[in-house]
Amino acid sequence: MTAPIAPGASQEARDYLADVERELADLPAEERAALLEDLEQHLAALAEEGDDCPVVIRLGSPAAYAEELRAAAGLPAQRNVRPSPRRDEVRRLLARVEAHPLTDEVRRLWGELRPAWWVLRGYLLIALPCALADQWDFPVPAPLGSRVLGLLLVGGAVAGSVALGRRQLSPSNTRLLTVGGSVLALLSFVVAVGGTQSPSYDVGYATPVVYDQAVGDFPLVSRYGPVTDVLPYAADGTPLQGVLLYDQDGRPLQVGFQEWWADGCSRVLRQPLAADGVPVPHAFPQTYVLDPTGGGLDDPALCDLVTDRPEVSLPVFPATVATPTAAAPTPAAPTDTVPVPAVPTGVPGD
């Protein structure tokens, strides 16, 4: 029973009219309709005046308006307790959502998807307890270790669920079914999400991409992807050169070869040679020089002769601690040929 609302009426006017209508809900329909018709015309007339004064300021709150209207019209005051303004607000918001065209769309879609939900509901009814009891051979529940039994139960539950869905139920039963279905869906969601997250190491979901990269060309992989260089610094921020790095088992740390550079020029790796002439792969940072052959593709003039280190954020240590640690890395032989941290240029980790 909605009051007739002119199509051009503002949302504010509609809200006001709807609120007053609610306030008059206990009146006989005819009486209420007459009063609301007057109000609607009044609101339209106010709108025509074109002043920007909000309706609520102009006419007072819907409740006050209704009360005054009742008193002047000689109608009984409203008997039941007036709902709180907040509830009014919520109701108005709901009404607005309801009136939105998208709501209709969603409702229609939901109507079309209902049979799918019936099937899913039947499946979850069996699958969820089995999953919780770990009697589960995804996606087939295996109660008592039997997939056949699981399939039979799922078939029965789905048939029952669909039959239930097609039947017209009493409102109380419908509500019960809705609540039950919501709980089932929610629990399933929680189990599904929780299940894929915690035991992921066993299942093998753990970042398979990175794992694959950690072989072959990229023996070292960080959370950001393949590592092609390591840039050591002393505690005082001095960039270090020729630092030998080993892993937790004492094996030389190896990184991948960097193929792509910001200036587009190709480079070759020049690892320092040990006394026996064997290159040392774990001296960091790695040293790359421009490819002397050039491949005929690169114009040396366009290449960066020196590849700067990327800018790093160095921690600031307390002065007392910094003194001893800063003195420590002397054997690492810092060189002054290396430029101070500068603009990032396509160097590893970029």
Partner 1 sequence: MDASQLLKGVLDVAVLAVVRQADGYGYDVVRRLRTAGLEGVGDASVYGTLRRLYQAGALTSYVVPSDEGPHRKYYAINDRGRSVLEDSGKTWRTFVDAVDGLLDGAPA
The conformation of residue 295, written as its DSSP 8-state character, comes to G
As given in the structure block, the two tokens for residue 111 are 């109507």
39 binds partner 1 (CB under 8 A): yes
Please tell me the count of residues contacting partner 1 according to CB under 8 A.
29
Long-range contacts of 313-318 (CB under 8 A, 24+ apart): 314/233, 314/237, 317/235
33-41, 163-171, 190-198, 200-208 -> range binding partner 1 (CB under 8 A)? 33-41
Measured from the CB atom, the residue of 72 and 302 that comes closer to partner 1 is 72
User: Is 46 among the residues that bind partner 1 (CB under 8 A)?
Assistant: yes
Q: Does the footprint of partner 1 cover residue 35 (CB under 8 A)?
A: yes
Residue type, 22: R
Nearer to partner 1, 5 or 303 (CB): 5
Beta bridge partners of 243: 284
d(CA 272, CA 278): 8
Q: How far is the CB of 31 from partner 1 (least distance, A)?
A: 8
Give phi and psi for 298, each to the nearest 5: -95, 135
Residue 54 found at the interface with partner 1 (CB under 8 A): no
Reduced to 3 states (helix: H, G, I; strand: E, B; else coil), residue 32 is helix
Closest approach, Cβ 61 to partner 1, in A, equals 11
One residue of 10, 25, 26, 71 binding partner 1 per CB under 8 A: 71
Q: According to CB under 8 A, which one of 60, 155, 252, 279 is a site residue for partner 1?
A: 60
Residue choice 70, 121, 267, 309 for contact with partner 1 (CB under 8 A) = 70
Give the C-alpha separation, 186 to 178, whole Å.
Answer: 12
* Residue 12 sits in the site that holds partner 1 (CB under 8 A): no
| Beta pairing, strands 140-141 & 283-284 | unpaired
Tell me: does residue 77 bind partner 1 (CB under 8 A).
no
Classify 222 as helix, strand or coil.
strand
Q: Does residue 59 belong to the site contacting partner 1 (CB under 8 A)?
A: yes
Taking CB under 8 A as the rule, does residue 40 contact partner 1? yes
Interface with partner 1 includes 13 (CB under 8 A)? no
Closest CA to 164 of 202, 134, 208, 119: 119
